[in-house]
Amino acid sequence: MDFKTRECGGGRWVEHLRAIGYNHPMTDDKLSHLDEEGRAHMVDVGAKADTERSATARGEVILRAETLALIRQGLMKKGDVLTVAQLAGIMAAKRTSELIPLCHPLALTQVEVSLELDDHLPGVQIYASARLVGKTGVEMEALTAVSVAALTVYDMVKAVEKTARIHNIRLVEKHGGRSGDVINE
């Protein structure tokens, strides 16, 4: 499907969704967020054991060298870019379930967000990790933290640079849970 099909009006878009099986009974039991009728629902994790879980995510904001220099010198009009973005990332991780419809609200035990200036990009490297003891993983919290921290960097620099690019937000690793450990880098 291309964007023209999507933009041409609700009728054809609905027909396309029906054709691909949206909101129709699914025979594949691998899609845990769909019920027997094919409707989205939050997975019941009540019977799962509490286990230690953690996840780490990364991303980058590509900037001009001149913008990076302004951040390093503390000359951005909106203030300390890295500290504001770090706080935004932490706050976002704590509110992930309010942003992603089928995520469970989690009692996070730790969220860490760090931002580093990188002259080789040039830009800002962003790292986030989240931890808890619970019934479901924290990948979305780590990814949300990186995403919102990156958006905050963009917001803080847009007065001097409209060409900033958010890149490569990804899960680096996760530990715990039924699916075990995943290490992507």
Query: Does 155 qualify as catalytic in the annotation?
Result: yes
Question: What are the CA-CA distances from residue 47 to residues 32, 43, 103, 134, 136 (Å)?
Answer: 15, 11, 17, 11, 11
Question: What are the CA-CA distances from residue 41 to residues 45, 67, 133, 143, 169 (Å)?
Answer: 12, 44, 23, 21, 26
For the record, the structure tokens of 128 come out as 């986030």
Q: Taking CA 55 as the corner, what is the angle to CA 54 and CA 56, rounded to the nearest 5 degrees?
A: 135
Question: Which residue bears the tokens 């040039």?
Answer: 122
Q: Parallel, antiparallel, or unpaired: how do β-strands 110-118 and 123-134 relate?
A: antiparallel
Sign of CA dihedral 141, 147, 148, 149: positive
Which amino acid makes up residue 115? L
- Out of 29, 50, 155, 181, the active site residue is 155
Enumerate the active-site residues. 155
